[in-house]
Chains A and B, each alone.
Chain A
Amino acid sequence: AQKITQTQPGMFVQEKEAVTLDCTYDTSDQSYGLFWYKQPSSGEMIFLIYQGSYDEQNATEGRYSLNFQKARKSANLVISASQLGDSAMYFCAMREGRRSSASKIIFGSGTRLSIRP
């Protein structure tokens, strides 16, 4: 069985600072995918970044980067130069098995990030 763990229920960060949101996972699959989503108070799920288990380089998307440490089974999200608009819930998620449209994606418990002006 797969599992996603986010140990930080909430975080406060000063604007313009960098922040790391932790995520560890557990799976017996060799092929899997890791995601980070942002959920503002409106409820929509906004895709941020993806890392495949066979990707050798850490994924980056603008201010977002994923610190992928396969041996430790961790996939931490790093947000550089945080902005007030970054305040939201952040979910780490994992797709099990081969990349296909039928593969389930399960979510961690989330981290509520609050940016202080």
Chain B
Amino acid sequence: GAVVSQHPSWVICKSGTSVKIECRSLDFQATTMFWYRQFPKQSLMLMATSNEGSKATYEQGVEKDKFLINHASLTLSTLTVTSAHPEDSSFYICSARTGVVNTEAFFGQGTRLTVV
């Protein structure tokens, strides 16, 4: 099946710094990727839809300036958590689908972010 690779799998950063998370589709082109956030023992909450070559579409309540999304190519989307604070600590996971024929969404391995 299609593979989505997410990097890094875990990261610890200091408050006030920025962290970039990469999401790559390894064997297919993804014009659209999705970024989710998951707090411990909770569900995946959609943060934004990343669109190749255009601005991301953010869900209500998600700060655009806090969570910067860039989808510069058909195989790479990045999520940058700017000026991170301890409350940004969470599990971030991306997903992509291969196109209209396929039905399932493929997920990256996820990134566990801890802000200290």
Q: Which residue on B lies nearest to A45, using beta carbons?
A: B107
- CB–CB B43/A43 < 8 A: no
Q: Is the CB of A102 within 8 A of B49?
A: yes
Q: Residue B95 contacts which of A42, A45, A108, A109 (CB distance < 8 angstroms)? A: A45
**Residues of chain B from 65 to 116 with CB closer than 8 A to chain A in the complex:** 91, 93, 95-100, 103-107, 109-110, 112
Determine whether the beta carbon of A101 is less than 8 Å from that of B32. yes
CB <8 Å contact, B103 and A104: no
**Total A-B pairs in contact (CB under 8 Å)?**
62
* Residues in B whose Cβ lies below 8 Å from that of A91: 43-44
List residues of A whose CB falls within 8 A of some B CB. Answer: 33, 35, 37, 42-45, 47, 50, 52, 91, 95, 99-102, 104-110
Q: Is the CB of B93 within 8 A of A33?
A: no
Interface size class of chain B, counting residues whose CB lies under 8 Å from the partner chain: 20 to 34
CA A37 to CA B98, docked complex, whole Å: 17
Is the Cβ of A105 less than 8 Å from the Cβ of B109?
no
B46 x A43 contact (CB < 8 A): no
Given A91-B44, A101-B32, is A44 in contact with B100 using a C-beta cutoff of 8 Å? Answer: no
Which residues from chain A contact B42 at a C-beta distance below 8 Å?
A: 109-110
Question: B34 contacts which chain A residues (CB < 8 A)?
Answer: 104-105
Q: CA separation between A68 and B110, bound complex, in Å?
A: 30
Specify the chain B residue showing the minimal Cβ separation from A44: B109
Question: A101 is contacted by which of B45, B46, B99 (Cβ under 8 Å)?
Answer: B99
- Looking at B31, B43, B46, B99, the one whose CB has the most chain A CB atoms below 10 A away is B43
Verify B43–A105 contact, CB threshold 8 A: no
